[in-house]
Structures are given as C-alpha cells and as structure tokens.
Amino acid sequence: MKILADQNMPLVDAFFAPLGEIERFDGRALTPEMVKDADVLLTRSVTQVNANLLAQNTSLKFVGTATIGVDHIDQDYLAERQVPFASAPGCNAVAVAEYVLSAVFALAQEQHFSLFDKTIAIVGVGNIGQCLADKLGAIGVKTLLVDPPRQARGDMGDWHSLETALAEADIITFHVPLVKDGEHCTYHLLDKQRIDALAEGKILINASRGDVIDNQALLARQQAEDDLCLVLDVWENEPDILEELLPYVELATAHIAGHTLEGKGRGTLMLYQALCQHLNIEPSSDLTQHLPTPSLTQLTLSESWSKEELGALVHLIYDVRRDDAILRAQLHSHGFDLLRKTYPVRRELSTLTLSGNNPYLSALAAFGFSI
C-alpha cells in the first residue's frame, strides 16, 4: 500500500510504517502526477484536495487531513468517488486555547490590566471555543458565547449575538470554520462595516482562518486610527500575507496556534486510528510513548501563590511572544511556510504537574495543568 504523507506531519513513520510504504511530499507542491498511484493520502491544511489533484488516481482508498479545519478538502467530490475521508476534530483544540490564553496574559502584562476584570467573547464555540470557555470558566473570567448554528440547533447555552459581543466584550476571539456561503457564512465575518464600528481599545484575536477577518479593512482602520489591539495567527492569502499590517499587530504569528507537539501528534494518531478502522486492523500505538519528556515537569506552589500570578505560570510553558519575535525577525529571510516547518518545540500545560498546599490547585487542574 502506498501512503503519501505531508512532510510536516510528525510521527508518520511511527504510526504508519507497519501499514505500507511511506512517501513524503511538500504540501504546497503536490501535483496530480505525484498522487496518481497513491492508496492513502495524508495532508495538512495547505493542500487543496479536489478533482484536479486526484484526476489521475484510480487507486485511492483513503484520504485524511491531520487538521481540524477542512476547508481545503472537497468532501463532496470524495463522497462522489466513495473515497473514505477522515479529519482530526479536536486534535489541537487545547493548543489553540492555550495560544489564546498565552496571548491575553501577555497583553495583560504589557498593558497593565487584570484578565479577571475583562470580558472575553468567543465567536465559534466548537472544540476550540468550548475548550477555551471551560478554561476561562475554571479561573473565573467572564465570557460571552457566540455561536448562531449551535443556538439554532437548540443547544443549551447563554448565547449572544455577534453584535452584542463586539459591543460589550473587551476581547473578541474567533474560532469559527471558514464557510464561504450560506446562512452561517464566516468569510469576512468581521467585514469593513463591523471593523469600522468597533470601539477603540478592543482586543481582536484570530486563530481560525485568515479570511474570517477582512485584512484590508483592518489595515485601513489601523492606518487611520491605530486604536485596535490585534493578535493574528492566521492571515488572508497565506503564505503571502499582507505585510503592511504587521506593524499594527500586537502579537503576530505564522499560523502556529495549534502546533504543540501534542496537537500535531494527536492529528497523526487520529488519522492512523481512522485508517486502521477502515482496514479493520486493531491500532497498536498510543501517543505518549512517542513524545519526548518535557524540559519542565514539576512545580510546587506555596500557599501564598495567587491567581494574579497565573500568566507567569502559563508563560513558563508557552509564551506566544517567542513566536511573535520569530515571525518579525525571520519572515523575510525564511518565509512564512519555512517558519511553520521549523517551528520550535512547544508543549501543552498538562505536561507540567503542580503540587503544594494551595487552595487554587483544583481550579488549575480544570484550567489544564496536571495535578
């Protein structure tokens, strides 16, 4: 069985080698010719999987993307050809939620505010948005939840409209899928009209897809007023991003919010499990045995440790300012895609075990640390 796998997927050999012969490819350079004799195709988000790419292939038995987003996959076409398809829902939800937390704690430190006095609107309350809402709930930060599709389905929740959230929240973070049409279209969900109507000082975070926010309108607003605080992990037209916007962005990163070792590894594992199920094989591996020991594993909190010090604790494990600095220093020499390919090791909060006689420990466990 020939397994074609994106070169940026970790642990492919560890999981898939027993199932067939593996060949790796550059996700942006895959051609119909290269795919023509593949049995299994494993991609990440940068490869458009559609009729054009698969035109010469008659042997395909499985397609997987080791990502949460599926906007690069023509699922109708795969269904038409009866090619089984799997994605990795939730694989990097914790990673993206921790990216947002790292960002808001960094801004709190630099702008001298307490996160505990702020309201955070979460737009899109699926795997990522819910994970973030749970973590913020665990530490007592107020959230406003926006998810019209869930609201329409009758899901229980204290739902708010996007307009209310944009007006009332101090921080607005986007976690919607990219949907280009229909009732719940998210393409330019934050369009020029909404951007221009935002009150000064709002903190906007986008770690979903670049097209969810009109980048040109954002640039125009910042060039005129420079009064929004922006955290952008995703950009329109990646990898050729709107570089004029960079100086107006407080924290800028190269679409790496989901790139913890755990998040990327889970994506590969989920595809392996899906393929095993399709082949009716018992999966034989788990993730932890393949991950290195983190550099920091244990910490004792004294009784006097207070939640105002939580930002420093989060930044011990992951400080998004590291990735902002890398983007600004190396975008021109390396390019957006190489920054993503050579992304330094990042671990999740759960790799740090906290102990000590501190009354806040159980909240920290719900927040994501191990206890």
Ligand X SMILES: O=C(O)C(=O)[C@H](O)COP(=O)(O)O
Instruction: State the catalytic residues.
Output: 209, 238, 255
- Interaction between residue 149 and ligand NAI (CB under 6 A): yes
Instruction: For the segment 70-109, give every residue that binds ligand X (CB under 6 A).
Output: 92
Shorter beta-carbon distance to ligand NAI: residue 242 or 363: 242
Q: Which stretch binds ligand NAI (CB under 6 A): 36-44, 54-62, 252-260, 341-349?
A: 252-260
Instruction: For the segment 37-56, give every residue that binds ligand X (CB under 6 A).
Output: 44-46
Rounded to an integer, what distance in angstroms lies between the CA atom of residue 172 and that of residue 165?
7
Binding residue (CB under 6 A) for ligand X from 258, 265, 311, 368: 258
- Interaction between residue 144 and ligand NAI (CB under 6 A): no
Instruction: For the segment 45-104, give every residue that binds ligand NAI (CB under 6 A).
Output: 68-69, 89, 92-93, 96
- Interaction between residue 265 and ligand X (CB under 6 A): no
Exposure string of 118-135, with b = 16+ CB inside 10 Å and e = fewer, is bebbbbbbbbbbbbbbeb
Out of ligand NAI, ligand X, none, what residue 46 binds, judged by CB under 5 to 8 A for its kind, is ligand X
- Interaction between residue 271 and ligand X (CB under 6 A): no
Q: What is the DSSP string of 331-360?
A: HHHH-HHHHHHTPPP---GGGSEEESS-TT
Residue 335 is labelled as binding a ligand: no
Q: What is the DSSP string of 225-244?
A: T---EEEES--TTTTS--GG
Amino acid identity of 261?
A: L
Rounded to an integer, what distance in angstroms lies between the CA atom of residue 200 and that of residue 41?
46
Residue in the block written with tokens 């600095």: 325
Q: Which stretch binds ligand NAI (CB under 6 A): 10-18, 170-178, 214-222, 275-283?
A: 170-178
Q: What is the DSSP string of 260-283?
A: -HHHHHHHHHHHHHHHHHHHT---
Shorter beta-carbon distance to ligand NAI: residue 170 or 323: 323
Shorter beta-carbon distance to ligand X: residue 67 or 102: 67
DSSP code, position 93: H
Quote the crossing angle between the two packed helices 93-111 and 320-334, to the nearest 10°.
100
Instruction: State both tokens at 222.
Output: 């910042």
- Rule CB under 6 A: which residues touch ligand NAI? 68-69, 89, 92-93, 96, 123-129, 146-150, 175-179, 184, 186, 189, 207-209, 233-234, 255, 257-258
- Rule CB under 6 A: which residues touch ligand X? 8, 44-46, 67-69, 92, 255, 258
